[in-house]
Each structure stands twice: as structure tokens, then as C-alpha cells.
Amino acid sequence: MRFTLTITLALCSLATALAQTFSVSGRIINAATRQPVPQAEVLLTNTGTLLQADAKGNYTIANLANGTYTLTAYSVGLGSTTQQVIVSNGNVTLNFELKPLEGKLREVNVKGEREKTFGITRLNSVEGTAIYEGKKSEVVVLNDVTANKATNNSRQVFAKVAGLNIWESDGAGLQLGIGGRGLSPNRTSNFNTRQNGYDISADALGYPESYYTPPTEALDRIEVVRGAASLQYGTQFGGMINFVMKEGPEDKPFELITRQTAGSWGLFNSFNSIGGSKGKMHYYGFYQYKRGDGWRENAGFDAHTAFSSVHYKPNKNLEIGFDYTYMDYLAQQPGGLTDVAFRENARQSVRDRNWFKVNWNLMALTLDYRLSERTKLNVRNFGLLAQRDALGYMGKINRPDDLTQARTLLQDKFRNLGNETRLIHRYNLGSSFSTLLVGTRYYRGFTDQKQGDGSSGVNADFRFYSERSGPNTSSYDYLSRNVAAFAENIFNITPTFSITPGIRYEWINTNADGSYRDVVQDQAGNVIRDEVVPEDRSNSRNVLLLGLGLSYKPSEQMEVYGNFSQNYRAINFNDMRVINPNQLVDQNLQDESGYSTDLGFRGNISGLLNYDASLFYLAYEDRINLTFVPGTTNRIRTNVGDSRNYGLETFVEADLLKLYYGTAHPTSLTAFSNVTLVNTKYSSPLSDVDGRQVELAPSVIAKAGLSFKRKNLKLAYQYAYTSEQYTDAPNSVLEPTAVVGLIPAYWVMDLSGSYTFRRFTLESGINNLTDNRYFTRRATGYPGPGIIPSDARNYYVTLEFRL
């Protein structure tokens, strides 16, 4: 670890040493009159930097390292022109001539730049109708990632995103579980999860878990924004993650891509997509079928996913889009293991009656309208019709499954809709530009949640079996409503320093209307009370969040950034009422609140070196967690107290061959280091929690790797290490039921490669190269309870064809 940190610091020092800078300057004139164009605008498309020429049409872009840059000049009433310039150990002069009424400046397309990355980059200060100035952000560029995309291998896909704790309990990649900075990875519920900018979780407020994960093979990029994203994307602590789908090519009417994958344990994955552009319309769609037997016994799955997107541009200012996503899968759940059983044989399963089924229908209608060259409107309407069914015996894993007893069936139906409208406007303030973003959000979610006796068989029979053929444990209708308004503004105080204040107001209303069955037994197991209890609960609250971002850019290759943002998280539906033999729920739960801060520096030097190092602090108040009911061995979810998490996140990657031989060298050999150090602590009135470490917050998360590329050949090696972590607030080490306890430190290696020949690409790799036995999760309910082992060594081969 000391060696890794030394390399990180050495490479960051190298970044500063390499940052010898020069300037590009020139004059902008009217091609018709040959007169200077005062206050013309010049855009450096590589970074999104925008500046204004003076009254004589003169401009200067300083602090540029050697490299190739693209500049676009524009002025109201005139056209735009774009030129490339090469900076090589000296200042450069570049003049522009603008012709009257020859067109207008179009939105900058940054995809071309992202294709030249190492697989990771960051968001520009302004993209579309969103502001990211001064925020911690990462962008995973999937085209540059060599990994097992057929199974959405999150350990590889997110390898270069700092500080993520990943649950690897789903080898098929059907569900994603990531968290960071001491937040639970459970179905990515601490992130606001989006696809193409709109929500995809079950219920953004009451049930923010994501049962649907977009196939990696269909993604163009994944955008990750940390805690300060709460001002634009809602009341959460983790931040925002946005899966951006591919689009059809703009230069041809039809393109077909088919990818067929075979792998260990009967894995078969077929991914097929079409896309293209014709006239004012472009489209993209895919269908994926995936099945496998799983590494463990009773772990088979069968999944279908489809997506279609059509965008229509009736004129140059308006674009209308419609997306539809469908997913349906059935998976058998092998259940958890005790610590003893895991050590004996991690592959075994002691449950063969547990099943999980998901059906997802997601729709979105979007509108982008350019009101003027400086003002843009974005409207997103989205809706979800979905259902998930969990069936099985959820008793403690150290007790055998009584095959004569009915299984527990939990059935949730999700119906929600929402609208998010954003307006972004760029305006002159003094001698520089400022950017204002204002937005509103309306969201309404409805969840029908039922729990009761299912069949006593072993098959996937998702029907209730009780005296009245319905749920006999609990039945609830949950309603969530949310109205929000938010604003952020980039004030460019100087050409190198900006301040970005922000504010968000939220009105949140959650309701629970239903009943639950209250059964009390004596010590001999005799029922002494069995009654149905009606319940009607409602909770409304008003939340105001404030934030501030700072950015200092001494050059185009370096930025010092910092931010502060308040956070808030409402209790979810499962915190209101779920009958689980492994835990109780405190009916007096309070919402969670707090704030997060970042301070760091980052940069990219001409494709040779990419780095980002930052300190973070996360204050979490009224944190909800598991602890013991006083005087018993039962566990209860309640507000256990406050916590504080702080740490250091570092990432650095360098092209070793190009650093030595120069950027013209045809072969690329990059090395990366991604190290996160975290320190956490509870402050609680509960004696068994006060002073303890925060659960699911490993003190060290480190990844390192090498990538080789020459012409059409790509190879990638990765090493990942995660230190030990607790799974509950009292820091339990060992517990007979295995639902809580220590997760030991583990490390994993992966090797992947690809080769392209004309229209064909062959990909292959080995995951868990050394065949380690480890686990990343202890489950209190589905898919456990108990330890959920991660997959052993496995192989895959993919053949891709493009037409």
C-alpha cells in the first residue's frame, strides 16, 4: 500500500512538472466588412472553456500544454467557424473570419474527445442543461473499457471510479450494488440512479432501490457525481449515477451489432442492436437474452432486456425523444450461508425453494428546445410500471428449511411518474460569462406491497396461498409525492476562478395505508394473540438544501475544486412496515440528514496523464441501522445516532510509453492506481454503537492495473483489494445466523483482452484469476439471509460482428 501511495504522489508531481504552458491568441473579424467583431465568443471544445474577445476582436487562451486543440468562434448575427490548432513548445496565433448568417453555433459534441480517453474522464463545467462546476465527477467511457461486459462486471467497469464499495453477490450482473464513502451498496440505493437523465429506481423517495441495471454492452458512458449532486438531483447522500445509452450512428441509416457470449457455468448472452439516422430522425434499439446456471447450486437465471429510442428533430432548435425499456427475469436464489458453511464449501446451497422475479417497464418522453444561442430548455417526462416478487423461506440460515411449511411471498407493484424541467441560460456579467440553471421536479409514486404465505412447493409459483388466497401477513398501499425547485449559478469571478452557489427546496409527502398481522407466541410456541391491525400513516415535510462550489483553474490541464452541500434522505417504505424474522422495524423512525464536502485537485495532460486526488467529509445525522433490542438478542432497524466519515480518494493513470517516447508512439501502455482511505466513527446514545466504526465502510479500497493497446489488440489486467468491514452498527464480528458480522479483507485479479479484424471483434477473459474464495455481503433478507459468496474463477468468450 505504501508503494501504491508513493507511485500516486510521484505521478501527481510529474503532472505539475509536465505542465509547461503556452497560449493561443488571435483576432476575430467580419469576413464581409473586414472589421473586428467585438465581444465575439471563443469556445475551447476540448474542455468546454468559453471566453469573450475584447472590443477589438482580440482573444487569448493561456495556460495550454502541448497538444491539439479545437476552437470555435461565434458572434450574434454572424455564423460560426471551427479550427484546429497544434501547440508545440510555443505560443500560437489563430485568426477567425465570421461570415454573416451562415449558421449558428451548435451544441458542443464531446463524444469525440471521450473516445480518446483511458476509459475514465470527468464532466465539463456545463453539459446540456446541467452544471458540474466544482463537483467531484467521473465518466466511465465504455468504448475504452476492456472488461466482461456480458455480465456487467462492476468490479471492472467501475475500476477507475474512486472509493466505490461493490457488492459482488450477483454474478450475472442482473442487479448493481455500489456505494461509497461508508454508504450501503444495497441495490445502489444511496445514489439517485438514472438512465439518459431520468429516474429508473423503484420509487425515488420511498423505495430508491434499482432492480433494473442497463446492460453494459448498450452503454456509451456512465456518469458519476458525488454528494454535491443533491442540489440538482434530489435528497440523497451518495450522489447521482447516470447510465447514458448508445445512439445510432449519424452518418448512415442502418447499423447492426450482434454480440454472442459463452462462459462458465452455462452462461450464454446474446446482445443485438440496431441504430441509424435518416433525415430528421435517428434511432437505436437492442434486445438482450441472458441465461446461466450460476456457480453455486440453485443459482440459475433467465433474463430478457430490450430498449428502443427514437429522436425526431423537426427543426434545428427542437428535438423530441421517446425511450422505452423492458426487462423481465427469473432467478433462483441459493440463499446465504453461515460462516462455518462458507469455510467448508462456499459453493453449496441450503435453500432450493427461493426465487426472485422482476418485470420492468420504463418510459420517457423528452424535449430539448433551444430558445436562443444562450438559452436552452430541457423537459423530461418519465414513468414506471413494474413488479418484483420474492418467494422463499426467510428463516435463519442456521435452521433447516421445513419443506412442509409455506414459503413467504413478498409482492411489490410500482407505479410512478414524474417530470423534471430545466432551463439553462448563459449571460454576460462584467467582462466574463456566467451560467444560470433553474429547474423544477414533480414526482408521484404508488407502491402496492403485499406479504403473506406462498406455496409449500419448490417451483417458482408466485401466488398467495392462504385461507382467502391473498396476503395474510401485511398489505399496504404506499403513496409518495414530491415537488422540488432548484437553482445553481456559475459566477466566473476571474478567467481562472469561479463560485457556484446552489439551492434546492423539497416538499415530500409519504403515506402508508394498510394492515398487518400481529402474532404473539408464548415460550412454548403457542399462539396467544393473532389479529389484523389496520394502520394509516402520513408524513409531510419541507426541506431546504444549500450548497457552494469553488473552482480554480491555473491552466487548462489542472483544476483545484471544492464544494459543500447539504444532504437529506427520507425513510423508505421498508422502514415503515415489513415482517422479517431476522429484524424488527422501529415505528418511530426519523428521516436522515447531514452534509458533504470535497476538496481536491485534478487534471489531464494531453492524453498522457490523468489524475484526481480529493479529501471528503460526510456528516450523517440520525442514521438508520440495525442494533440490538435492549435485553434481547433481536435486532431492530432504528435511528442509532450520528456518524462522520472522512477520507482521501486518489486516482492517477499514465501512458508509460507515450511519456517516454512521445505522443506519436503507436503503442499504448497505461498504468493506473485508484486508492481510497476512509475513517469512520459513530456518535450515539446507544452504548453498543457509540464510538464504533460505520458499517460497510472499509478503511482501504485499492485498485491498480495495466492496459496495453496496439492497433486492434487490447489487453487489460486489474488487481482489486478491499479491507475488512463490519455489517452493523455494533460492529459484530461473528453471529450464528450470519446476517451480521465481519466481512474479511479480500483481493481479486481480472484479465481481459480483445482483438478486432475488419467487422469482427473477439473478446475473452478470466475473472477472479487466482480462484479466491471471498464474499462482499451479508444479507438480512433476500437473497439470503446470511453470507452471499462471490463467484469463483470463471471464463468468457465474446464474438462481435458489425454490419
Q: Cell match 411518474: residue?
A: 417
Domain containing 159 equals 113-242
Residue 672 in domain: yes
CB 271 within 8 A of CB 288: yes
Is cis: bond before 783, omega within 30 of 0? yes
CB 623 within 8 A of CB 638: no
CATH number of the CATH domain containing 224:
2.170.130.10
Q: How many CA atoms lie within 13 A of 355 on its CB side?
A: 21
Q: How many CB atoms lie within 10 A of CB 704?
A: 19
The answer to whether residues 101 and 70 belong to one domain is yes
Residue 782 in domain: yes
Residue 128 in domain: yes
Cα 267 to chain center, whole Å? Answer: 25
The answer to whether residues 388 and 440 belong to one domain is yes
Question: Exposed, middle or buried: residue 137 (CB in 10 Å: 0-12, 13-18, 19+)?
Answer: buried
The answer to whether residues 725 and 681 belong to one domain is yes
Span 516-567, pLDDT tens digits:
887 777 766 677 778 888 888 888 999 999 999 999 998 878 999 999 999 9
CATH number of the CATH domain containing 98:
2.60.40.1120
pLDDT of residue 509: 92
pLDDT of residue 104: 35
pLDDT under 70 in the chain at which residues?
A: 1-20, 46-48, 101-117, 523-525, 574-583, 606-607, 631-633
Domain boundary among 242, 274, 302: 242
The answer to whether residues 161 and 237 belong to one domain is yes
The answer to whether residues 91 and 133 belong to one domain is no
d(CA 106, CA 102): 12
pLDDT of residue 102: 42
Residue 257 in domain: no
Q: Cell match 467585438: residue?
A: 38
What SS3 class is residue 199?
strand
d(CA 775, CA 528): 41
Is cis: bond before 185, omega within 30 of 0? no
Residue 483 in domain: yes
d(CA 650, CA 648): 7
The answer to whether residues 515 and 381 belong to one domain is yes
The tally of domains found in the chain comes to 3
The answer to whether residues 19 and 166 belong to one domain is no
Residue 275 in domain: yes
* pTM tops 0.85, yes or no: yes
The answer to whether residues 234 and 316 belong to one domain is no
Residue 781 in domain: yes
pLDDT of residue 170: 84
List the alpha helices (DSSP H) in 252-387.
339-344
CATH number of the CATH domain containing 604:
2.40.170.20
- Paired sense of beta strands 120-121 and 80-87, if any: unpaired
pLDDT of residue 576: 64
Domain boundary among 242, 274, 308: 242
Q: Cell match 473477439: residue?
A: 762
Domain boundary among 194, 212, 242: 242
Q: Cell match 479550427: residue?
A: 83
Angle ∠(573,575,581) on CA atoms, nearest 5: 115
Span 155-203, pLDDT tens digits:
999 999 998 999 998 888 898 999 999 899 988 989 999 999 999 999 9
CB 775 within 8 A of CB 743: yes
The answer to whether residues 670 and 720 belong to one domain is yes
d(CA 617, CA 596): 6
- Paired sense of beta strands 592-605 and 775-779, if any: unpaired
The answer to whether residues 526 and 659 belong to one domain is yes
Q: Cell match 464474499: residue?
A: 775
pLDDT of residue 107: 42
The answer to whether residues 192 and 323 belong to one domain is no
Contacts of 801 (CB under 8 A, 6+ apart): 256, 257, 258, 759, 760, 761
Strand segments (E) across 656-727: 667-683, 700-710, 713-722
- Paired sense of beta strands 239-245 and 191-195, if any: parallel
The answer to whether residues 76 and 134 belong to one domain is no
Q: What is the DSSP string of 578-626?
A: --BTTBEE-TT---EEEEEEEEEEEEEETTTEEEEEEEEEEEEEEEEEE
Q: How many CA atoms lie within 13 A of 418 on its CB side?
A: 29
Residue 161 in domain: yes
